[in-house]
Amino acid sequence: MVLVVWALVVVAFGVFAPKATSSLAGAGWVSSTSQSVRARQVIQRDFAGLGSSALEVVVHDRQGPLEASAAGRQVLASVEATLRRDSAVSVVEPPTPGLTLSRDGRTAVVTAGAKVGPNRMVKAAGALAAPLARLGRDGVSVTLTGDSALWADFNSANHSAMMRSEMLSWPVTLAILVVAFGSVVAAGLPLMLTLAGLAVAAGALVLVNHLTPTSIWALNFALMFALALGIDYALFLVVRFRAALAHHRAEDGAPDAVVAAVAETMGTAGKAVAFSALTVLASLGSILLVPSPAFRSMALGIMLAVVAVLAATLTLLPAVLGRLGLAIDRGRVRLRRHAPAHPAGHRLESALHRVGRGLWRHPLPAALGALAVLALAAWPALGLRTAMPSITIIPPTANARVGYEQIVTAFGPGAPGTLDVLVPAAEEHDALTTLARLPGVAASVPGPTHAGWTLNEVVPTTGPSTPATAATIGRLRRALPQGSLVGGAAAENVDLQHTLAAKTPLVYGVLLGMGFLLLLVALQAPLLALAGVLLTGLSVAGAFGVARLIFQDGHLAGLLHFTPQGFVDAWAPLFFGAMVFGVAMDYTLFLLSAAKERFERSADPEHAMLGSVRTSGRVVVSAAAVMIAVFLTFALSGPLAPKEMGVVLAVAVALDALVVRLVLLPVVLRLGHHRAWHCPPWLARLLPAVRFSH
């Protein structure tokens, strides 16, 4: 019955899943409560959308002034006609001498106002880029650029790269899973969970998008987390199921013994998986504190994937395990021809048992060495600089970047970051006086007045992604008459960066607090709960220390084929940090829940520590190997954003699995001894009773 219900659920949501890539939103990288967004809303309402979402079409004649040639005049007319026919365009502004027509007359910018919201303008930009480019002729080129075009190119390049990386990672993942599980049948279970979870999450995202715009990036991250959690949860449950089969002596495949093994698996490892999923959801939920549509929808997308995989893990997987029974070991794989038929993972478990013995005998040297590794990795993070990415995040051949460079050549470095300055109409004279003498302003052009506002265009002296332009925006906001609004794409990036910097401490505080509370409820041990969250924080810091060396300072730039920007993208510490924290807490719960299960049965700290390192350590190592391989495929992809994500996540998982979970946490169990599991009586009365022994 469970299998039939899941088949119906997958089909019901899967019908919508193919529409995900075409229907999901492409914009939303703004701070919803910022001054720049308020400016864009006023411009959208009162000034025909001639703000940051407007389309900019660069027409360039390589031979001479556009107006001097029949080809140039015809191309300009064709561009304007094409834009007017598009339903997303409200008004078309022809080139204006001195502002959007270069002094030599060879470069002109045709501006199309946004009739629809930013997400639909990004889609319109993606649809119009190729038809507009085909209008060029006889040495006259046509290139679509502007903020909407940039996000269209950014999403397209990154989505393609991530899809290639994910397709490349599947064979690698399957190979590692076969080795980890030791049988082909067992190795297929994580992929079953992943596909079921992904189909449900992708279909749900399409449905949610009808209620609120959902970023296309939500789908990419949902796929990644569905794969990560599907592997983690299936590994943990299958390892426990095999042990339960042996415990119940199900060698003959007796149905009662198999059912008892499933019940024991879900009562122990299944409970740990449920707590693990709650910690992941809490980690992702902290991102909802950031008032940005893109961030909130990405967090929502991953949360949907987590819920779908958790539901499949707690219902579909035990049903499949119950049907398989001993058949879970079919397709046994032996890496050596004459290898003995040990249970899968026997050699790794034996090696980890020896590691656990060594840690129990020599805890302090192991702890000092592990802490030294983490400190060495985390030290560079003290000099981490963040900023919103520049135009270099999209490929050099992308139309938005080509048009950007043409505008810089024709009009100066600040022209692509022209600011939209809204001034109360009664204050226009004072505003123009201020603009004329303000440092950092190359030019200001008075604009139309409507509904009590005057819209002025202000060109900075520096590029849109530079700290100097951010400083100019700050000076404008301080010097202009009260009630003025400074907007434009450059201002939106600056505002988002400031919001991310302001919210990061709050998000990390919520991460640590929620992680501690959930570990406290699960383990009933305050010392272990505190150690779990603090050590996770060290692995996150180590990952960003390595990210600073690579992406800010440029080490390994040649090997990874990218040009360093001199900073790490502003969203990385907050968004990737929350993702890393969620995955790392998986490993923490797997290890400590296995230790708690043994401690509840024997009250022997040594037995609890050695048993958890032996069995759950194998799950941690196997899952980490898959995750590192998957994340490194993203690090090798073309655009910069997936590279940053791949490196940060791969380094964090490696540090967390190999240093924190397999060294430091076992050392905490060793040094804490019985005290590690102590819970004050008053606290025990407040906490719900949670046991992992069966």
The pLDDT of residue 66 is 92
The pLDDT of residue 81 is 96
Q: Give every CB contact of residue 164 below 8 A, 6+ residues apart in sequence.
A: 637
Q: Which amino acid is present at 69? A: S
The pLDDT of residue 7 is 93
Q: Give every CB contact of residue 229 below 8 A, 6+ residues apart in sequence.
A: 193, 197, 277, 280, 305, 306, 309, 310, 313, 586
- Alpha carbon distance 665, 649 (integer Å): 20
* DSSP state, residue 97: B
Question: H/E element holding 108?
Answer: strand 107-114
Residue 12: C-alpha distances to residues 196, 198, 313 (Å): 11, 13, 19
Torsion sign across C-alpha atoms 62, 65, 71, 72: positive
The pLDDT of residue 301 is 87
Do the Cβ atoms of 455 and 463 come closer than 8 Å? no
Do the Cβ atoms of 654 and 628 come closer than 8 Å? yes
Instruction: Say if pTM beats, i.e. exceeds, 0.95.
Output: no
Tokens of 113: 């106002």
For the chain, list residues with pLDDT below 70: 250-253, 333-346, 637-638, 694
Q: Give every CB contact of residue 118 below 8 A, 6+ residues apart in sequence.
A: 27, 28, 30, 40, 52, 53, 148
**Parallel, antiparallel or unpaired: strands 386-387 and 568-569:** parallel
- Alpha carbon distance 54, 488 (integer Å): 10
Q: What is the pLDDT of residues 498-507, one digit of tens each?
A: 999 999 999 9
Do the Cβ atoms of 209 and 23 come closer than 8 Å? yes
Residue 386: C-alpha distances to residues 466, 497, 501, 567 (Å): 12, 8, 9, 5
558 burial level (CB within 10 Å; 0-12, 13-18, 19+): exposed
The pLDDT of residue 638 is 65
Do the Cβ atoms of 587 and 536 come closer than 8 Å? no
Q: Is 386 helix (H, G, I), strand (E, B) or coil?
A: strand
Q: What is the pLDDT of residues 443-486, one digit of tens each?
A: 999 999 999 999 999 999 999 989 999 999 999 999 999 999 99
